[in-house]
Amino acid sequence: MRITHAEIFRFTIPMYPFTIATGTMDFAQNIFLRIFTDEGMHGVGECSAFPMITGETQNTCFAMARDFAPLWREKDPLQIEERMNELNAFTAFNTTIKSAFEMALFDIASKLAGKPLYQFLGASQKKALETDITIGLGDPEEMAAKALEFRAKGFRTLKIKLGKDAKQDLKRLKRIRQAVGDELMLRIDVNQGWDFDSAVFALQQMEKFNIQFCEQPMSHWDDGLLPELRNLSPIPIMADESVFNHYDAIRLLEAEACNYINIKLSKSGGIHEAIRINKVAEEFHIPCMMGGMLESRLALTAFAHVATALDNIQFYDMDTCMLGHKVDPVTGGVTYNGYLVELPDSPGIGAEVDEKFLSGLEKVIV
C-alpha cells in the first residue's frame, strides 16, 4: 500500500471564549487531515493547536502540514515509526501537527486490520472512561455557577482552572466547594500560573477543600523546585506542561517530582510516544491521565482508544469538545453517556467529519 496524497483542512471550530491562566481562546485552532492510499482506503487525523502551551498555532500547523505531506508521497502508511522518523528528521518540535499525521496512519492500519483502534493497540476490552468537566478561569461567582450547572447535568468530577493569583484562587475554590457540597470530586489545573511560594501557600491552604490533585502548579522552568513542592504539598501533583515526551517523564520521575502525569497527543507528537511516556510512568508506579486541548470528537475518539488500551491511564480529561464548541461536525466517534465517554465498535478510529462542514473550510491537497 502506498500513500498518494493528503487533504489538509483549516478545521476552525467556533467557540465561546475559554480562559486559562496563560490566556483566552476564542476559537479552536484545529487541523483536520485525510491521508489517502492507492488502495482506496484513507485515514483521518486531527490536532488542536494551543499556542500558549506548545508554541504552535493553526497557521503554523497548516504550513507545516503542507511541508510534511510530500515527504510521505509513495511511502508505505503501515510503517508508522519510519514515517514519523521522516517528519522528525525534517523538523524538531511541532508535536501537535505531527500527532495529526500519526493519527491518520494509525487509522489506516487499524482499518486494514479490521479492528477498532483500541484493539489494534492490544486491548481486548473496553473500560469505563469517566471524564471530568472543566470550568474555565473567571470570577468566583461565575465559576461557582458553572459548577452548579455541571452538577445538575450529572457530572461527578470537576476540573477547575486556576493560576491567576493564589489568594484569588483560594476564593474561587472556596466558593465552588461551598456551592457544590462535599460529594463532587474536584481537581485543579494551575497551567503554570504560580511561583514556588504561591504554590506552597495555595496548596497548603487548599487541603481543606479536598482536592484530588493539582495539575502543573508552576512554570516548567521551575521543574527543579517540584520535588520540594511535592514534599510540602498535601495535594498530589500532576505534571502536564512539564512532560511532552518520555525523556521529560524520566527526568521528573527520577527526581520524584510528581505523583501523576497528564499525557496529551498534542504534546507527545502522537500515540507511539504516548505509549512510551505511559510505560516509563508505569515503571515508576505513576498513574497517568489522558487529556487534550480543544479537539473535536474526532481526535477525542482517538484519545479514548489510547486511554482504553493503556491500563496505567487511570484519569480521563476528555471534555475537549464540551468546553464551548458551538458546533459538532463529527460523524461517528465517541458518544457521551452522561460522564462516560463510549467508544464506537467500527474499525479504525471510527469517526469522520461531515462533508458539508468540510466544504466550507479552507483546504489544500498535497
Q: Which residues make up the interface to Mg ion (CB under 5 A)? A: 189, 215, 240
Contact, 280 vs 308, CB < 8 A? no
Would residue 55 be called left, alpha or beta, if left means φ above 0 and alpha means ψ between -120 and 50 degrees? left
Provide, rounded to whole angstroms, the least separation between the CB of residue 18 and Mg ion.
13
Contact, 215 vs 134, CB < 8 A? no
Nearer to Mg ion, 215 or 319 (CB): 215
Give the residue nearest to Mg ion (CB): 240
Cell of 361: 473550510
Would residue 210 be called left, alpha or beta, if left means φ above 0 and alpha means ψ between -120 and 50 degrees? left
Which of 107, 37, 35 minimizes the C-alpha distance to 65? 35
Contact, 22 vs 52, CB < 8 A? yes
Cell of 187: 481537581
Provide, rounded to whole angstroms, the least separation between the CB of residue 240 and Mg ion.
4
Identify the residue whose cell numbers are 502551551: 53
Q: 215, 241, 273, 319: which one is catalytic?
A: 215
Contact, 223 vs 243, CB < 8 A? no
Give the count of beta carbons closer than 10 Å to the beta carbon of residue 195.
15
**CA max distance for the chain:** 60
Nearer to Mg ion, 9 or 315 (CB): 315
Q: Is 362 a catalytic residue?
A: no
Q: 146, 159, 164, 264: which one is catalytic?
A: 264
Q: Is 165 a catalytic residue?
A: no
Provide, rounded to whole angstroms, the least separation between the CB of residue 294 and Mg ion.
12
Residue 136 CB partners (closer than 8 Å, separation 6+)? 18, 19, 20, 143, 146, 161, 323, 324
Q: 46, 102, 240, 241: which one is catalytic?
A: 240
Nearer to Mg ion, 198 or 262 (CB): 262
Looking at the DSSP bridge assignments, the partners of residue 179 are: none
Q: Is 222 a catalytic residue?
A: no
Nearer to Mg ion, 215 or 273 (CB): 215
DSSP 3-state assignment of 33? strand
Provide, rounded to whole angstroms, the least separation between the CB of residue 236 and Mg ion.
14
Q: 7, 46, 56, 189: which one is catalytic?
A: 189
Provide, rounded to whole angstroms, the least separation between the CB of residue 262 and Mg ion.
6
Q: Is 240 a catalytic residue?
A: yes
How far apart CA 115 and CA 168 sit, in angstroms, is: 49
How far apart CA 151 and CA 109 sit, in angstroms, is: 40
Nearer to Mg ion, 64 or 263 (CB): 263
Residue 152 CB partners (closer than 8 Å, separation 6+)? none
Provide, rounded to whole angstroms, the least separation between the CB of residue 159 and Mg ion.
8
Contact, 202 vs 173, CB < 8 A? no
Q: Is 189 a catalytic residue?
A: yes
Provide, rounded to whole angstroms, the least separation between the CB of residue 141 and Mg ion.
24
Nearer to Mg ion, 237 or 271 (CB): 237
Nearer to Mg ion, 215 or 248 (CB): 215
Q: Looking at the annotation, which residues are catalytic? A: 161, 189, 215, 240, 264
